[in-house]
Amino acid sequence: MELTIAGVGARLGGRWVVDGVDATPPPGCLTGLLGPNGAGKTTLLRLVAGLLEPAAGAVLVSDPGALDPGPTVPVHTMARQVRARHVALLEQSSDAAVPLSVREVVALGRIPYRTLWGTDTDAGAVDRALAAASATHLAERPWATLSGGERQRVHIARALAQEPSLLLLDEPTNHLDVSAQLALLGFVRGLGVTTVAALHDLNLAAAYCEHVLVLSEGRLAAAGSPADVLTPALVRDVYGVDAHVLTHPTTGRPVIAYSPPGAADS
């Protein structure tokens, strides 16, 4: 799905927490949404998901029913069920202790595809999503008994079960061990679905994202390839941290080596 973020702003608590953001995440690619705590990443994801109406500008997506695939429809004006078939948002995990099995939680992602009689139009979608999130072995477990990392995999499976053409992930690697973090981002990148993922780990973003957007105090500070954007100057300006940017010996991607404050003096 094509996506254009055009001069988007959101006001919360009487101030602009997202302010005049223009961006075009490349279709079919994984875009990393970066920035310090409170920079506006979650708010921008909610705007892109159509859950929050922008106070300025618009988020345009390609009309799923149109022959011309250009980004033309403001996402917040799409009918809810149409939007739910095309846009999936994985929010930061809630740990509600719902009395459902893992399979039932993942099947919630299929609600937009149910017929009038409540039948899912694709019975295999839940199994495919569980497998993709490496959660098949958890399928019959009660949701309430899972660990944090297991719950995160199930949240991801539920988003994948929606079979979205725009996938929005808010800190999807939270709670996951290193191996699961790499597997998840490798998998998501391979989907070929337009994906925007808020990430705190700049090295994961550098390793897996084709494109990155950096927010700072609600504004877009930089956008482009990780190699172009993740410079020592950017890391210092946006995060207030000194860093060296190295080149990974096998992938050629940037690797950010942070300098702890005072390290040069010791």
Interacting residue ranges for ligand ATP, rule: CB under 6 A? 12-13, 17, 35, 37-43
Q: Which two tokens stand for residue 164?
A: 């979205």
- The nearest distance, CB 218 to ligand ATP, in angstroms, is 7
Position with the least CB separation from ligand ATP: 13
**Residue of 72, 52, 51 whose CA lies nearest to 60:** 72
- The alpha-helical segments, DSSP class H, found in 133-224 are 148-161, 178-191, 202-208
Three-state DSSP state, 182: helix
**Residue of 10, 78, 83, 75 whose CA lies nearest to 42:** 10
- CB-wise, 36 or 74, nearer to ligand ATP? 36
- CB-wise, 38 or 190, nearer to ligand ATP? 38
- CB-wise, 38 or 69, nearer to ligand ATP? 38
- The nearest distance, CB 42 to ligand ATP, in angstroms, is 3
24-59 burial string, b = 16+ CB within 10 Å, else e? bbebeebbbbbbbeebbbbbbbbbbbbebebeebbb
Sign of CA dihedral 131, 137, 141, 145: negative
- CB-wise, 16 or 187, nearer to ligand ATP? 16
- The nearest distance, CB 144 to ligand ATP, in angstroms, is 25
- CB-wise, 42 or 194, nearer to ligand ATP? 42
| DSSP code of residue 199 | -
CB 168 within 8 A of CB 49: yes
- The nearest distance, CB 52 to ligand ATP, in angstroms, is 10
* Residue-by-residue DSSP string for 10-53: EEETTEEEEEEEEE-PPTTSEEEEE-STTSSHHHHHHHHTTSS-
Instruction: Give the E-state strand segments of 37-141 in sequence order.
Output: 56-62, 71-74, 87-90
- CB-wise, 57 or 110, nearer to ligand ATP? 57
